Structure 1
Amino acid sequence: MAKRVIRAYCTVSREAACALAGTPPWELEAEVLAEVYHRTAAARRSGNPPARQEIEHWRKEARDAIIDKWSDQMQDPGAGHRTVLALQPVLRAWIERHRGFLPYRMVQVLTGHGCFGKYLHNIGRESTAGCHHCGSDTDTAQHTLEECPAWAGQRVALTAAIGLDLSLPTVVKTIVDNDTGFDAFKTFCESVMLEKEMAERAREEDPLADPIRRRRTGRRRRAFARNLI
């Protein structure tokens, strides 16, 4: 569900998706429900049915407790390390931020799952992890955000808004605290990722491209899927 909320690639880890969506894992949400249920049941058994406001207070207390527990768990993630570790220090602020919508292309940059050479290589869609735009050996989300000279122009406006430190923890902290920073990051992601996607589409449609690069449709898509089983 969290992946659908943020419109992430299906390969994004559950831990990263939940963190970006600001929704605790279901097992922690279940602890909130259980805590409220047991306190309500105990109060009723004692002959003092709780008022609605008191139940809401218990729910808030339980939720605050599981947010702290979730934050502790995020210090040692099983997957999605780059994303989870960037969000962990500002988890509560991220959950409570008033700008809840995360654009699709921003999610690609935040997760590293998208139109990046390393990701495409990992899923068998590129023969190498290299960057088609600058020739670097490895094209990752962080390379795109911080290093690739092809996006230097777009990066000028971004650094003017959030500073020269484009490490993901700093970017995340800035877009939580600052609407201007959020808008600048959104603009950067939309502009750069759109260009990368268009270039990717052109490579897919090139009849001379490596077969793994070509768009798979119809029978070719089904045949490729069978080879993965």
Structure 2
Amino acid sequence: MAGVQRRSALRVISAFKTVSESATLVLASTPPIDLLIRERQEVYLEYRENGDINTRGEIKRTARQRLLTKWQERWDADTSGRWTHRLIPNLAEWCSRKHGQMEYHLTQVLTGHGCFNEYLARFGKREDSACLHCGYTPDDVKHTIFECSATRAERMQIKELGVSRDW
């Protein structure tokens, strides 16, 4: 079931298949299937034993909070998807956001898996990992977004908007 969930999440966020399962599920705001099953089981058992129509919502909220706590612990301990974790450290905040949808280019930036020469060279699609614009090696997502002269204008626009974050 986890494999089917991962493939579905990859399509939802328009990601390459090389993106880790943990990062894929985070970007899709989809908790791992085993935690979802456990959450549903907890809600069912608690409602059956102690619930009435007035407490069902509270039972669900409590179970969801436990799920998010377990998922956050798993996300923090995982060794894959670390670039994505660096950008999205807090799952509850990410999953409860009220704006923004995932799309192909945003997914590449948030995962580091995409049209960056370092990534392409790793899979034999490029001879070297140097940046085509400035020659810096390696041309990875960090270089492209935060350092490359080709993206300086976009960085300045973001800075003028007052958006800053220490990465």
Task: Give the C-alpha shift of residue 52 in structure 1.
Answer: 3.7
Distance 1:147 1:71, change over 3 A: same
Task: Give the C-alpha shift of residue 164 in structure 1.
Answer: 5.6
Task: Give the C-alpha shift of residue 132 in structure 1.
Answer: 1.0
Q: How does 1:74-153 map to 2 (within 5 A)?
A: 74-88=75-89, 90-153=90-153
Q: Gapped runs of 5+ residues in structure 2?
A: 1-7
TM-score of the two chains, using structure 2 as the length reference: 0.86
| Aligned equivalents of 1:63, 1:85: Cα separation in 2 | 24
| Aligned equivalents of 2:32, 2:164: Cα separation in 1 | 34
Deviations 1:171-193 (A, max 9, x none): xxxxxxxxxxxxxxxxxxxxxxx
State the identity %. Answer: 32
Task: Give the C-alpha shift of residue 163 in structure 1.
Answer: 4.4
What does residue 3 of structure 2 align with?
A: none
User: Which secondary structure state, in structure 2, belongs to the residue aligned with residue 33 of structure 1?
Assistant: helix
What does residue 29 of structure 2 align with?
A: 22
2:78 is the alignment partner of 1:71: no
| Aligned equivalents of 2:118, 2:134: Cα separation in 1 | 14
**Structure of larger gyration radius:** 1
What does residue 42 of structure 1 align with?
A: 49
Distance 1:61 1:164, change over 3 A: closer
What does residue 19 of structure 2 align with?
A: 12
Amino acid at match of 2:45: H
| Aligned equivalents of 2:55, 2:86: Cα separation in 1 | 35
CA RMSD of superposed structures (Å): 1.8
Asked if the contact 2:87/2:110 (under 8 Å) is kept, the reply is: no
User: Which secondary structure state, in structure 1, belongs to the residue aligned with residue 55 of structure 2?
Assistant: helix
Deviations 1:142-181 (A, max 9, x none): 11110001121222102222446562xxxxxxxxxxxxxx
Deviations 1:9-52 (A, max 9, x none): 12111111111122111111111011012223334xxxxxx334
What does residue 39 of structure 2 align with?
A: 32
Task: Give the C-alpha shift of residue 59 in structure 1.
Answer: 1.6
Q: Which has the higher contact order (CA 8 A, sep 6+)?
A: 2
Amino acid at match of 1:62: A
User: Which secondary structure state, in structure 1, belongs to the residue aligned with residue 76 of structure 2?
Assistant: coil
Asked if the contact 2:116/2:140 (under 8 Å) is kept, the reply is: yes
What does residue 159 of structure 1 align with?
A: 159
